[in-house]
Amino acid sequence: MKINANTRISELIEADTAVIEVLASVSKPFKRLRNPILRKIMAPRATIAEAAKMGGCTVDAIAAALRPLGFEYEGIAAGGEDAVAAPGWLSAAPAESVIKFDVREIIESGTDPLREILGAFKQVKPGGILCIINNFVPTPLIHLLKQDKAEDSYVEKISDKEFHTYFLKKQAGAVSHEATPGERKETDAFNEIIGRFPPEKIREIDVRELEMPLPMQTILKELESLPSDSILFVHHKRIPVYLLEELSGKGYEVHVQTIDELNVKMILFREG
């Protein structure tokens, strides 16, 4: 199978399930692919290039690991993502015009910085640039802002523990994001599942305004008393990775739909 930087991880796994263990051997974050719930939700959303950023490795490292399985890599030359130069909109921007926001201390305190990041992005003028300083590549944030608010993004690796992610804000009047076929398919599948259950079998909760770790605790408590013939419909502000890890192997089916920057819908119910 021929692959490139834009090949999705889900496509690799569909072609050969051995990919899961191969990727797990490349970088520690990839070990989460062993979790069937996380794999189902995250693998379709990440390309090889995006996975390399999340794993703190290069595209070439992933391509080399996949080669023994018969995957033929085409695309980026030696050096992978690290060889990509900064885009013109960034290299031509005066240093003083870039707003920098370091979120490392916020994350270390146990707080989700998303609300603060969105607030900072609102202060950026159309055509301006926001730089998020973090100790990892914020791939979900990149997807989120590029859906509607950011024209483009670029990740600069300063060290293994410091990444600068630049976002170019759309000009006023720019066309909003149009849902991709994959996003429309996800929405249709999500709505189809809800349609299987009558209103009285749908328990709905909203955890978007709760501080960590209350969202996870609230959802787990609701699941404890959820009848086997019912579903839990959750309004969340992000995909709760740690919750999905906790539910792994406990017999739950999970479906996720991302609406916007602070609106993620989840359906959870017992399998079978």
Residue 185 confidence (pLDDT): 66
Residue 28 confidence (pLDDT): 84
- Pairing status of strand 162-169 against strand 129-134: antiparallel
Query: Domain-by-domain residue ranges, the chain?
Result: 2-82, 88-169, 181-270
Q: How far apart are CA 223 and CA 192, in angstroms?
A: 21
Q: Which CATH architecture has domain 2-82?
A: Orthogonal Bundle (1.10)
Model pTM above 0.75:
no
Does 181-270 carry CATH code 3.40.50.10260?
no
Options 3.30.1370, 1.10.10, 3.30.70, 1.20.1300; CATH for 88-169 is 3.30.1370
Among 230, 228, 242, smallest CA distance to 205 is for 230
pLDDT tens, residue by residue, 53-112: 778 788 889 999 999 999 998 864 433 444 456 788 998 888 888 999 999 998 888 777
Q: How much of the chain exceeds pLDDT 90, in percent?
A: 31
Residue 75 confidence (pLDDT): 65
Structure tokens that stand for 259 in this block:
């609406």
Residue 80 confidence (pLDDT): 40
> What residues contact 181, with CB distance under 8 A and at least 6 apart?
none
Q: How far apart are CA 162 and CA 135, in angstroms?
A: 4
Structure tokens that stand for 106 in this block:
């916020």
Residue 260 confidence (pLDDT): 67
